[in-house]
């Protein structure tokens, strides 16, 4: 595990972002200290001078090819930087308030920025700022157009996987579909009875997910914007919703629980239980086989990140070590490492290789060698193994546990005895 400390002896700041470059060689962090920083993902060493704004940085991303970096800031700008040297390439201005979101499309030829209020600031005080618009730019930072149509503030704006479309969600209870060449509106997605917080595309772009404070997540056709299905929660609003990379699962995060759903039918599969309080983030690995969650949501003091099986929602591992609540956790592109950031002003890098490599006979050997107990340590596919499926509530390393030779020897003796008894009863009956 590597530890990336971003604080100074004089003053400490919250780290907002920690993301890998597409090749996995670099990590990008961003902070309220008005800087973003580049690190070597193996050694944890700084690569370039700090990327500086005139206000706190709320987000930072790499371009799809890793050659550029895009940052969003409280200084009302987004900025474009060289992805290796950290030199500034362009300033994307024009917003009237804090830019909280900045993103590339799939091939890096378009940039989308959205402004909004920082959590905790009353919207009445910020009423002079126009948050009903998103801005569209080319890949070099030249403005193309303004997406206008929402009647209240925009909460989220994302590109379709192929980069040709954009979908936005808003406090006005709608989501809107736009084309990304000039920012022309295509359709209005109506149906929610409350604010629409989040929006996401399926990996193939054929479906759209929206989540609202009306306690529903809705599934829409990605081309026409027509409604397909409604996912409901009895307890509270489903504030965030994402597809798995393979599109077969949906993950939702709310004030009370993280839930796993079937991506085609919309039926609930599991509730991911284990964190103390609300969960700050929940994401899939690139192969959809695992989920990582960060436990430090609003009002929570959970200092852990947790790994789960991506098909069944069963628990795999708990990552402990942070000294304050964990804000964020993601997978590296190859799924072998997990960077986390926390309120202790550090980002940490965890090796989770074993959760993807240990399978079959090797897994059985590890179960006995390390005295792992219970089926919750296995993935959905592994739990189908007839031997592994019988481990729940037992110690497989006991002398007569289900993985021991004596266990199966005793089983064979009992089976042979039963067959002999059956043969004797059959002879008597003839």
Question: Can you list the domains of the chain with their CATH numbers?
Answer: 2-357 (2.130.10.10), 379-430 (no CATH)
Q: In sequence order, which ranges of 209-265 are alpha helices (DSSP H)?
A: none
pLDDT in tens, 189-198: 999 999 998 8
pLDDT in tens, 336-372: 888 998 888 888 888 777 665 444 445 555 555 544 4
> pLDDT class for 393, splitting at 50, 70, 90?
very low
Give every CB contact of residue 361 below 8 A, 6+ residues apart in sequence: none
Beta bridge partners of 82: 68
Burial (CB count within 10 angstroms: exposed 0-12, middle 13-18, buried 19+), residue 80 = buried
CB 46 within 8 A of CB 37: yes
DSSP-derived secondary structure letter, 46: B
> Could you give the C-alpha distances from 96 to 116, 130, 133, in angstroms and in order?
9, 6, 10
Give every CB contact of residue 174 below 8 A, 6+ residues apart in sequence: 150, 188, 189, 190, 192, 196
Query: Looking at the predicted structure, is the pLDDT value of residue 11 above 70?
Result: no
Query: Looking at the predicted structure, is the pLDDT value of residue 87 above 50?
Result: yes
DSSP secondary structure, 229-266, as one string:
EEEE-SSS---EEEE-TTSSEEEEE-SS-EEEEETTT-
Averaged pLDDT, 302-322:
86
């Amino acid at each position: 595990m590597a530890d990336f400390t971003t604080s100074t002896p004089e003053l400490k700041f919250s780290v907002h972002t920690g993301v890998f470059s597409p090749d996995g060689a670099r990590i990008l962090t961003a902070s309220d200290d008005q800087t973003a920083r580049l690190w070597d993902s193996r050694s944890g060493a700084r690569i370039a001078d700090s990327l500086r704004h005139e206000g706190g940085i709320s987000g930072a991303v790499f371009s799809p090819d890793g050659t550029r970096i895009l940052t969003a800031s409280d200084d009302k700008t987004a900025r474009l930087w060289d992805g290796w040297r950290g030199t500034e390439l362009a300033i994307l201005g024009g917003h009237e308030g804090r830019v909280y979101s900045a993103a590339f499309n799939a091939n890096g030829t378009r940039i989308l920025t959205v402004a909004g209020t920082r959590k905790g600031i009353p919207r009445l005080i910020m009423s002079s700022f126009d948050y009903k618009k998103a801005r569209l730019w080319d890949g070099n930072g030249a403005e193309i157009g303004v997406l206008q149509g929402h009647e209240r503030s925009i909460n989220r704006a994302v590109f379709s996987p192929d980069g040709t479309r954009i979908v936005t969600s808003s406090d006005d209870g709608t989501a809107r579909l736009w084309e990304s060449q000039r920012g022309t509106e295509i359709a209005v997605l109506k149906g929610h009875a409350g604010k629409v917080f989040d929006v996401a595309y399926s990996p193939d772009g054929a479906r759209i997910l929206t989540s609202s404070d009306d306690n529903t997540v809705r599934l829409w056709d990605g081309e026409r914007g027509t409604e397909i299905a409604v996912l409901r929660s009895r307890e509270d609003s489903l504030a965030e919703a994402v597809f798995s990379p393979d599109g077969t699962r949906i993950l939702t995060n709310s004030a009370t629980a993280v839930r796993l759903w079937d991506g085609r039918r919309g039926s609930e599969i599991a509730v991911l239980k284990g964190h103390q309080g609300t969960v700050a983030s929940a994401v899939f690995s690139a192969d959809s086989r695992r989920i990582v969650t960060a436990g430090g949501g609003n009002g929570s003091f959970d200092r852990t990140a947790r790994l789960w099986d991506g098909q069944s929602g069963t628990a795999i591992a708990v990552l402990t070590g942070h000294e304050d609540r964990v804000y964020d956790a993601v997978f590296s592109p190859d799924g072998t490492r997990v960077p986390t950031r926390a309120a202790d002003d550090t980002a940490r890098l965890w090796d989770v290789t074993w959760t993807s490599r240990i399978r079959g006979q090797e897994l059985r050997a590890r179960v006995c060698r390390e005295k792992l107990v219970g089926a919750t340590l296995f993935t959905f596919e592994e739990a189908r193994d007839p031997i592994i499926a019988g481990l729940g509530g037992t110690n497989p390393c006991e002398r007569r546990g289900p993985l021991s030779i004596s266990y199966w020897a005793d089983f064979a003796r009992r089976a042979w005895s039963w067959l002999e008894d059956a043969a004797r009863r059959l002879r008597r009956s003839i």
